């Protein structure tokens, strides 16, 4: 069999009179009116419990969008049981059949479910139409299509050399046990990809999304089922993280975790797995994409417009809640007046408000907890003599969790917001003397406790070369003359090292190889 060659899904533009805008508006209205009662999906059952939790749009917290059923430890146990019961049939199915299921899911997202998944992402996670389109339509579709391509390459790999009278071969087995997929709130594409990539390679999965992502997760599950993912292969549960972890990480059949989320949570999970290692049948695969504190470094030769565009788009799209978002920058003094003026002009032109108005570029941050944390850091910055608030600095939670895009200029390159991940629309800038570029390179590297993304902006080839080499461990995705966000599946495999994860590059063959365990067979005649 040959599977169709993958192509990146074209991004629709949702212009004022476009058909896609009409469809999306209708989907938004329908979703707002529905008040869904969202179940967990365990085996062949939709499971509802007596504990109903609310889902409210972050930009409109007075509106009850839906409820979902929270489960407890017994539901985690049931999900593991259902997964293990589905295992033999699923791993016995020819890989081409599994490929077909996920290719069909990609087509369903691209066509009949595009408006619904985008509307769910917009309402549940407060993403504007464009940000939803590049995430929950295009990136999700790309993950599915490109992973099928990488899967094909894995299964079609050349066999090893065989000598006279001997036939050697290597077989790619799914992991022995089940995989736990733990997904973050900020990308619907990641929510779909983490369970799907493990399942594609013949594994059975227990999937727990962030509670703030359940509204879109429900649509993903609906599409997976319609595409033909058999009951029990992916089980979707809503259980408090530590409660789920307690059951999962004590289970002998736990064979791997596919995680995206914060560094601290991942480190705790790793530690728990280490403590329990003697309880498992096999060494579990530990794959995690975690936090970031991503940088933009401008060289004195850079064009000020390129720098300010990289900063404004890199830092504030989706309210800075991308793991790759620019959140610290180093700008030479000679460029600063122009960069500052450009940024102030752009930021004051941004409209802030709910996603239903397509003119709003900035929407709400995800939760009150996140809002309060950001407000606390902004207030501390305002009170600090070493910090200048260059733009923004206001916040308002009357209708939703709205935080203005905020730019801070600091005297100390190690100021707290230059180092910690805030995960919101706050960009901190250190302005350096032009002659001190080499010194700043050291500061950037030293501050890169996380190492996810970073950019050098320069027209000087020697400076580009120097930064590329010197910062080789400071970012898993390094950009030259561009913003540090917007990796495209199949074009820039994504992931970071140091505190940012195991760097198994989401949407790549490296990642898929983590979900199989090869067996070498030698037959002698």
Indicate if 404 belongs to the active site: no
Task: Provide the minimum distance between the beta carbon of 152 and ligand NAD in the complex, in angstroms, as a whole number.
Answer: 24
Sequence-separated (6 or more) residues with CB below 8 Å from residue 12: 18, 20, 114, 133, 137
Per rule CB under 6 A, is residue 182 in the interface with ligand NAD? yes
Which residue of 192, 292, 300, 507 would you call a contact of ligand NAD, by CB under 6 A? 292
Binding flag, residue 228, ligand NAD (CB under 6 A): no
For 134, how many CA atoms within 13 A lie in the half-sphere containing its CB? 14
Q: How far apart, in whole angstroms, are the C-alpha atoms of residue 235 and residue 243?
A: 16
Minimum distance of ligand NAD from residue 269's CB (angstroms): 6
C-alpha span between 402 and 346 (Å, rounded): 18
Dihedral of CA atoms 52, 54, 55, 59 in degrees, nearest 10, equals 180
Written as six digits, the tokens of 336 are 């600063």
Instruction: Tell which one of 294, 421, 445, 504 touches ligand NAD (CB under 6 A).
Output: 421
Closest CA to 104 of 79, 135, 141, 132: 141
Spell out a b/e string for 215-247, using b for 16 or more CB atoms within 10 Å of the CB, else e.
bbbbbbbebbeebebbebbbbbbbbeeebbbeb
Site for ligand NAD in 229-248 (CB under 6 A): 241-242, 244-245
Q: Edge-to-edge strands of the sheet including 426-432?
A: 387-391, 406-410, 426-432, 326-332, 294-298, 453-457, 477-480
- Of the CA atoms within 13 Å of residue 251, those in its CB half-sphere come to 25
* Residue 523 burial by Cβ neighbours in a 10 Å radius (0-12, 13-18, 19+): exposed
Cβ 299 vs Cβ 458: under 8 Å = yes
**Binder to ligand NAD among 60, 139, 289, 445 (CB under 6 A)?**
289
Window contacting ligand NAD (CB under 6 A); options: 41-49, 260-268, 335-343, 344-352 = 260-268
Binding of ligand NAD by 265 (CB under 6 A): yes
The two structure tokens encoding residue 504: 């198994």
* Complex with ligand NAD: residue 432 or 450, whichever CB lies closer: 450
**125, 136, 290, 448: residue in contact with ligand NAD (rule CB under 6 A):** 290
9 lies in the site for ligand NAD, by CB under 6 A: no
Q: How far is the CB of 519 from ligand NAD (least distance, A)?
A: 31
**Does 111 interact with ligand NAD (rule: CB under 6 A)?**
no
What residues pair up with 145 in beta bridges, in sequence order?
none
Distance of closest approach, residue 168 Cβ to ligand NAD, in angstroms: 37
Closest CB to ligand NAD among residues 211, 224: 211
User: What character string, x for contact with ligand NAD (CB under 6 A) and - otherwise, covers 461-500?
Assistant: -----------------------------------x---x
Among 268, 334, 344, 492, which residue interacts with ligand NAD (rule: CB under 6 A)? 268
Q: Which of 505, 507, 500 is nearest to 475 (CA)?
A: 500
List, in sequence order, every residue forming a beta bridge with 330; answer none if it has no partner.
297, 430
Smallest separation (angstroms) from ligand NAD to the CB of 239: 9
Contact flags string 191-210 toward ligand NAD, x per CB under 6 A: -----------------xxx
- Contact between 309 and ligand NAD (CB under 6 A)? no
Q: Residue 360 gets which letter from DSSP?
A: -
Task: Pick the closer one to ligand NAD by CB: 329 or 331.
Answer: 329
Q: Would you count residue 352 as binding ligand NAD (CB under 6 A)?
A: no
101 CB burial (10 A radius; 0-12, 13-18, 19+): buried
Give the number of C-alpha atoms closer than 13 A to the C-alpha of residue 83, restricted to the C-beta side: 32
Q: Which of these is catalytic: 289, 356, 404, 421? A: 289
Complex with ligand NAD: residue 27 or 452, whichever CB lies closer: 452
Stretch that binds ligand NAD, among 51-59, 149-157, 257-265, 458-466 (CB under 6 A): 257-265
- The number of residues that bind ligand NAD (CB under 6 A) is 30
Instruction: Give the long-range contacts of residues 44-47, CB within 8 A, separation 24 or more.
Output: 44/231, 44/232, 47/71, 47/75, 47/78
Using CB under 6 A as the binding rule, whether residue 367 contacts ligand NAD is answered as no
400 contributes a contact to ligand NAD by CB under 6 A? no
Which is the catalytic residue, given 9, 70, 323, 404? 323
Q: How far is the CB of 5 from ligand NAD (least distance, A)?
A: 26
The yes-or-no answer on residue 139 being catalytic is no
Q: Which residues are catalytic?
A: 289, 323
Q: Which residues bind ligand NAD (CB under 6 A)?
A: 182-187, 190, 208-210, 241-242, 244-245, 260-262, 265, 268, 289-292, 323, 421, 423, 452, 496, 500-501
């Amino acid at each position: 069999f040959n599977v169709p060659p993958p192509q990146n899904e074209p991004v629709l533009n949702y212009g004022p009179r476009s058909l896609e805008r009409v469809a999306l508006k209708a989907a938004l209205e329908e979703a707002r009116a529905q008040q869904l009662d969202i179940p967990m999906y365990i085996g062949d059952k939709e499971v509802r419990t007596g504990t109903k939790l609310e889902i409210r749009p972050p930009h409109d917290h007075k509106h009850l969008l839906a409820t979902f059923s929270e489960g407890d430890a017994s539901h985690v146990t049931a999900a593991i049981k259902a997964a293990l019961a589905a295992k033999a049939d699923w791993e016995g199915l020819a890989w081409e059949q599994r490929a077909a299921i996920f290719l069909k899911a990609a087509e369903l997202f691209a066509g009949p479910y595009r408006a619904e998944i985008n509307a769910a992402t917009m309402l549940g996670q407060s993403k504007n139409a464009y940000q939803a389109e590049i995430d929950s339509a295009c990136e999700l579709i790309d993950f599915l299509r490109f992973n099928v391509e990488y899967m094909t390459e894995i299964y079609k790999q050349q066999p090893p050399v065989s000598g006279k009278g001997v036939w050697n071969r290597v077989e790619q087995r799914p992991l022995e046990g089940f995989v736990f997929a733990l997904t973050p709130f900020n990308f619907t594409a990641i929510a779909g990809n983490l369970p799907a990539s493990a399942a594609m390679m013949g594994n059975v999965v227990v999937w727990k999304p962030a509670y703030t992502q359940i509204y879109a997760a429900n649509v993903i599950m609906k599409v997976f089922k319609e595409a033909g993912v058999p009951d029990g292969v992916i089980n979707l549960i809503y259980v408090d993280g530590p409660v789920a972890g307690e059951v999962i990480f004590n289970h002998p059949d736990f064979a791997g975790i596919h995680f995206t989320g914060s560094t601290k949570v991942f480190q705790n999970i790793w530690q728990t797995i280490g403590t329990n290692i003697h309880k498992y049948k096999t060494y579990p695969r530990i794959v995690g994409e975690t936090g970031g504190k991503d940088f933009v470094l401008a060289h004195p030769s850079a064009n000020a417009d390129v720098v300010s565009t990289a900063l404004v788009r890199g830092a504030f799209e989706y309210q800075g809640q991308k793991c790759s978002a620019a959140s610290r920058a180093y700008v030479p003094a000679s460029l600063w007046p122009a960069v500052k003026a450009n940024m102030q002009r752009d930021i004051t032109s941004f409209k802030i408000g709910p996603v239903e108005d397509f003119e709003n570029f900035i929407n709400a941050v995800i939760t009150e907890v996140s809002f309060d944390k950001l407000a606390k850091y902004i207030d501390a910055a305002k009170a600090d003599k070493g910090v200048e608030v260059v733009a923004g600095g206001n916040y308002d939670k009357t209708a939703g969790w709205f935080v203005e895009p905020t730019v801070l200029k600091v005297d100390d390159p190690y100021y707290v917001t230059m180092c910690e991940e805030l995960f919101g629309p706050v960009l901190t800038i250190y302005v350096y003397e032009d002659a001190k570029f080499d010194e700043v390179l050291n500061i950037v590297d030293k501050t890169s406790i996380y190492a996810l993304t970073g950019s050098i902006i320069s027209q000087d080839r020697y400076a580009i070369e120097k930064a590329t080499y010197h910062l080789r461990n400071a970012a898993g995705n390094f950009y030259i003359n561009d913003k540090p966000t917007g990796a495209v599946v199949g074009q820039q495999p994504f992931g970071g090292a140091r505190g940012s994860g195991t760097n198994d590059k989401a949407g790549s063959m490296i990642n898929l190889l983590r979900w199989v365990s090869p067996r070498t067979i030698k037959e002698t005649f």
